[in-house]
Structure 1
Amino acid sequence: MSESLLSTTLATFTTHGPFEVRPFSDRCRSVFELGDHLLIGVSPGNSYFGPQRIAELVRWGHEFFDAVDIVYADLHVDAQFTAAGYTAEHAERRAAKEVKATQRRIQRGVAEAGRPGVGVHALSEFLPRATYRELHREVLHALGTDPEFRAATEGMARSFLRARQADGTAPAPDRLAAGVDYIAAELPFFLDTPALLGVRSSVACYHVELPLTPVLFGRTEGLRAVPAQAYAVVRPTAAPQVAAA
C-alpha cells in the first residue's frame, strides 16, 4: 500500500449525534458533507442490524442527509448454504427464511424510526436494470483481470464467511467462490449508487472498514468508485473498533 493510500485510512472519527463517523478519504468527506444521500446496506444473518439499530441509523440519516435508502441482499444467499453442505432444497429454504427475517427487521426498524420516505429495496430488484447489469459486468471483469481487486474481494469473502463458521476456520474453495459471487452482486452500490438510485451523490455506510474500501476508494487506477460515491464507517459513539466481517 502506498504512503498516500495509507494516509487516507488514518482519519479520526468525528461525532455526529449518536454515531461516530469516519469518511475513508478527503474526497469521501466532501461527499459526506454534501448531505445528498445515505445508503444503508443490510446483509441476511448480520446481527448488528437489529430493528433498533436500523431505526437509529434511519433517524440519524435523516438528520444529516436529504434522502436515505436501505438495500438488503437477497442474491446468492442459497449458494452459501449449498457450499456449506446443505441440499439444494434445504439451502433454498434456509436462504428464504433468512431473507424474510431481514425484511422483517428492516420493516420494524423503519417503522420505529418514524421517518417517512425511506426507500427499502431488495438487491434483486435491480437485476433487470441496464445500469446495474453494466456495473456488475465491470465487477466480474475486474475479478478476472485485476489481482489487487480479486485479492481484496476474496479477503472480504473470507472475513464474511469465517464469522459465520462455528469453528472459525477458512472457508472451502466452493464456499469462497459462493461468497465472492455474493459480494460481487452488492458491489455496484459501492461503485455508483447515484446512477442506480438517481441521486446527486451518495455515502455508503457500514460499521467497519471493509477490505475492499482502499481498493475502491483509495487508488487511482483499476475499478473504483465514481467521484460522487463515498464510503464512511458509521458506528455507535464510543463503540470499540472491531475487525471487518
Structure 2
Amino acid sequence: MTISADASFEVLPFTRTCRHIWEDGDHVLIGVSPGNSYFSAERVAGLARWAVSRFAQVDFVYADLHVDRMFGAFGYTPEHAGRRASKEIKAVRRRIVKGVEDSGSPHAEIRVRALSEFLANPVYQLLHRRVLHFLETDDTFRKGCEEMALHFIGSKLPEGESMTDSQLRVCFDYLAAELPFFIDTPSILDVPSSVAAYHVRMPMTDVLFARGGGLRATRNQAYAVVRPGTEDSAAATGGSADERRAA
C-alpha cells in the first residue's frame, strides 16, 4: 500500500503496523551513509520539508563508525583509508546541514547527529550487543546481514570475486553499528514511536519486521521506504514493482 505523502515523495510502510506508526507521526529517523550520492543537499532539503510536515520530531543520523576500516578492507592503505573516511564523513555532514538549512524548516524540529554520538547511550549499547550476539548465533539473521553487506559493497568487488572473511567482518561491524536504530529507535531517543525511513527496501527488513522469532523490531518501531514520488522513483531507488511491499 503506497501513501502519496505529497508531490515529492511516496511512502511505502512495510506492514500494516508500520503504516499505523507512520500515521501517528511521532518521529522519523533518516539514516544517511557517507559516499551515497542519493543524499544530495537538494534531496535532504526535500526530505526535511516532507518530514517536518508529517512528524513531531525528525533525526538525520549519518554513519561515521568503521568507515575507515571499510576503505581499508577494499585496498586502501591505513593512512589513505583514514583520510578518505574523514573526507567522506565531513562531506556527508556538510550536505545534510546545508539541506536542512535550505529546507526552510524550523531547525528545532530537526536534529543532525553522527552515529558515534550514541556510543555512550546505554540502550544503544545493549541493542548493539544483541545484534552482535545474533550475528554469531542466528543463521537467518546472519544471512540477512550478508545480503545487506552485498547490497552495500557488491559493486566494489571485482567481477567474479566474492567477499573475503575479513571484508565481511568489517561489513558486519559497520552494519551492527546501524542496526540498533532499525530495532528500537524509540528507546534510544526516548520517543513514543519511530519510523526508520530509507529510499529502498533493505534485505534485513523481512528479518526484523516479518519473521516470527529471533531478533525483531519492537512494536513501536516501523520501517518505510520513502522515495521520490514521480517517474524518477524507479531510477532513484533501483526498485521494481515487486519490491514495493506494504501490507
User: Does residue 1:45 correspond to 2:35, yes or no?
Assistant: yes
The amino acid of 1:196's aligned partner reads I
1:65-103 CA distance string (max 9 Å, x none): 111110000000011111112121111111111100111
Per-residue CA deviation, residues 174-230 of structure 1 (Å, 9 max, x unaligned), is: 222211110110001001111111110000000110000011011121001101100
The answer for the alignment partner of 2:164 in structure 1 is 172
TM-score (norm 1): 0.91
Return the letter of the residue paired with 2:137.
T
Amino acid at match of 2:27: H
CA distance in 2, matches of 1:213, 1:169: 26
Shift of the alpha carbon at 1:14? 2.2
Residue 165 of structure 1: how far off its partner (Å): 4.5
Whether 2:50 is the aligned partner of 1:54: answer no
Asked if residue 197 in structure 1 is aligned to residue 189 in structure 2, the reply is: yes
Provide the secondary structure at the position in 2 that maps to 1:163. helix
> How many pairs were matched up?
233
- Map 1:12-51 → 2, pairs under 5 A: 12-17=1-6, 18-51=8-41
> 1:158–1:170: 8 Å Cα contact kept in structure 2?
no
User: Where does residue 95 of structure 2 map in the other structure?
Assistant: 105
Q: What's the C-alpha RMSD, in Å, of the aligned pairs?
A: 1.5
Cα distance per residue 1:30-88 (max 9 Å; x no partner): 11110000100000010000000001001000111111110000000011111112121
Task: Kindly provide the CA deviation profile for residues 106-126 of structure 1, in whole angstroms up to 9, marking residues without a partner as x.
Answer: 111010012122111100001
Q: Which residue of 1 aligns with 2:238?
A: 242
Q: What are the equivalent positions in structure 2 for 1:84-233 lying under 5 Å apart?
A: 84-115=74-105, 116-117=107-108, 118-165=110-157, 167=159, 169-233=161-225
SS at match of 1:75: coil
Counterpart residue number, 1:73: 63
Counterpart CA distance in 2 for 1:126 and 1:162 is: 28
Identity %: 53
- Give distance in 2, aligned partners of 1:44 and 1:22: 24
Change (3 A) 1:110 1:226: same
1:205 partner letter: A
Contact 1:162 1:169 in 2 (8 A): no
Which has the bigger relative contact order, CA under 8 A and spacing at least 6?
A: 2
The amino acid of 1:110's aligned partner reads: V
CA contact (8 A) 1:41 1:71 kept: yes
Where 1:89 maps in the other structure, the secondary structure is helix
Cα shift at 1:173: 2.7
Matched residue SS, 2:200: coil
Counterpart residue type for residue 213 of structure 2? E
Task: Quote how far apart the aligned CAs of 1:166 are.
Answer: 6.8
